[in-house]
Structure 1
Amino acid sequence: MPTRTEKRLSVVEVTRYRPRDVEYHAYVEVLNSRAVRAAENDGWLVNRVAAADVGTASLLSLTDASDAIMIMGGEDISPRFYGGAADYPFESQHFETADEGQIALVHRALRRGTPLLGICRGLQVINVALGGDIVQDLGNQTIHKNLGAPIRDIMAAHTVALDSSSRLSTDLGATEIVVQSAHHQAVARLGEGLVAIGTAPDGVVEAVEHADAQVTGVQFHPEDPGAPDGQLAQLVARLSVRERALA
């Protein structure tokens, strides 16, 4: 059992089972494991939960005691959750149970004021939960993914310009950062309360913050092994802000 001084973080992924795509699953496991280790190194007691494997009610129950939430990357959100087309280029497998559960988790985090970080798909989940929608495919001329590359080489490096007035810019101590990304979708219409505070050179939104809540989403992958040293640790540390303020 955690003590009163321990802080509890739920790292919420899509699924722990991908028999249809073993290579992709192995890479996702690397990313999610690195996020867990970074959180543990920051003093968090980590609860790792796969949304598709447990269902919405169990997901909410298993994360009920969490002091903060991190929603990880993974497959495309089903278009039915944001009114998108049912058929689009490079459409991935959908895990609608995960979509439903993670959207419910965002709603509860906002109601409770629970610090929340969304990474890649996690940003998109936050956006969709708040009524936003998604660019379903960025096309073949993209800086956001090495199209056609083996999964181990899929990440593409590029810069992100951060709004100097944003909390993220202040915490990272920079107005421009280098990131690793691997996405073919992106935020289109922003959800209610969200502000775009990071953009790639092509104008794609790469980071958002909520105007009134401790909710942050990044489209890039700070947990990738090729990401700049310290980037993931800095983002994980942001989740402790409420805990520090109450101390």
Structure 2
Amino acid sequence: MFAPRLVVIEVTGTRPDRPEYHAKVQVLNGRVVTDGVSDGWNVMRIAAADVTPDELLWDTRHADAIVIVGGEDITPSFYGETTGYEGETAHFAAADEGQIAVVRRALAAGTPLLGICRGLQIINVALGGSIVQHIDEGIHKNEGVPIDEILSTHTVTLTTTSGLARGLGGTDIVVQSAHHQSVGRLGAGLVAAAVAPDGLIEALEHHTAPITGVQWHPEAPDAPADQLPRLLASLRGHVESSRRERELVAA
């Protein structure tokens, strides 16, 4: 039986200076791996900061699909800005470089790719877009609470013609998010696929390639239970469609 290869790319495997944050990230990332395995994927998990950008490209060269998950802010130089902004987190420049290269190769090769939170921002930056370095978190993040309570629940409206609307079964959904940055200028070929009540872009899609980013966390414990499985199923649909096309060409 065909078991497609899913690569889950996180930022780093260790954060000794921020153990509570790291533990929260591991819960979220672990859910992506667990759901992938449950759905029949052959899952590989890689921490981008723990390898060189070239090694990351090499290790992911045979991926049938890729998920880039959440984490720290992208190094500002990758989108033409500087450090010193409000809410700034640690940066992992090598991880940024490697993940950006993975997105660009996925676009060129037609590899299905999903970005979650930071992963959405990586997609946008990789394709020449910009990042709003600090937003009024408002509905997007709970402030001044323990890390386990940081995720905020709110609605988003999906574009009716988007792949996300088809994959998630509707246009108005409830999500969980925790971000202090957002999409600014959209990268080349990207279109907004969802907006929050305050007008911020909450998802994007490439207009021709199977590349999607969501700013929220479908892998969060309190997110609607079917969100992440539906997103992984959409990735799998792209993989199987591409596989059938190759088999027809070879026949």
Q: What TM-score do you get using the length of structure 2 for normalisation?
A: 0.95
Quick check: 1:203 aligned with 2:202?
no
> Structure 1: which amino acid aligns with 2:232?
V
Alpha-carbon distance in 2 for matches of 1:34, 1:243: 21
Q: CA deviation at 1:64?
A: 0.8
Q: CA deviation at 1:241?
A: 1.9
Quick check: 1:243 aligned with 2:245?
no
Q: CA deviation at 1:244?
A: 2.2
**Which shifted more, 23-32 or 84-93?**
84-93
Which of 150, 166, 180 in structure 1 is aligned with 2:162? 166
**Which shifted more, 214-223 or 165-174?**
165-174
Q: CA deviation at 1:6?
A: 1.7
Alpha-carbon distance in 1 for matches of 2:185, 2:147: 29
Counterpart in the other structure of 1:187:
183
Alpha-carbon distance in 1 for matches of 2:198, 2:92: 29
Quick check: 1:80 aligned with 2:91?
no
Q: Which has the higher helix share?
A: 2
1:47-86 superposed matches below 5 A: 47-86=44-83
Alpha-carbon distance in 2 for matches of 1:86, 1:240: 38
3-state DSSP class of the match of 1:84? coil
Q: CA deviation at 1:149?
A: 1.0
Counterpart in the other structure of 1:231:
227
Query: Any unmatched runs of 5+ in structure 2?
Result: 245-251
String of CA shifts for 1:4-30, please: whole Å, max 9, x gaps: x22000000000010110000000000
Q: CA deviation at 1:85?
A: 2.9
3-state DSSP class of the match of 2:139? coil
Q: CA deviation at 1:36?
A: 0.4
Percent of aligned pairs sharing the same letter: 57
Which of 217, 225, 233 in structure 1 is aligned with 2:213? 217
3-state DSSP class of the match of 1:102? helix
Query: Any unmatched runs of 5+ in structure 1?
Result: none
Q: CA deviation at 1:155?
A: 0.2
Alpha-carbon distance in 2 for matches of 1:102, 1:180: 24
String of CA shifts for 1:134-191, please: whole Å, max 9, x gaps: 010113x511000111100000000000011111101111011000000000001000
Q: CA deviation at 1:197?
A: 1.1
> Structure 2: which amino acid aligns with 1:166?
S
> Structure 2: which amino acid aligns with 1:116?
L
1:39-188 superposed matches below 5 A: 39-139=36-136, 142-188=138-184
> Structure 2: which amino acid aligns with 1:111?
A
Q: What TM-score do you get using the length of structure 1 for normalisation?
A: 0.97
3-state DSSP class of the match of 2:140? coil
Alpha-carbon distance in 2 for matches of 1:15, 1:54: 9
Q: CA deviation at 1:86?
A: 1.6
3-state DSSP class of the match of 1:73? coil
Alpha-carbon distance in 2 for matches of 1:177, 1:50: 30
**Which shifted more, 181-190 or 234-243?**
234-243
**Which shifted more, 156-165 or 80-89?**
80-89
Which 4+ residue blocks in structure 1 deviate beyond 4 angstroms?
none
3-state DSSP class of the match of 2:138? coil
Alpha-carbon distance in 2 for matches of 1:242, 1:154: 33
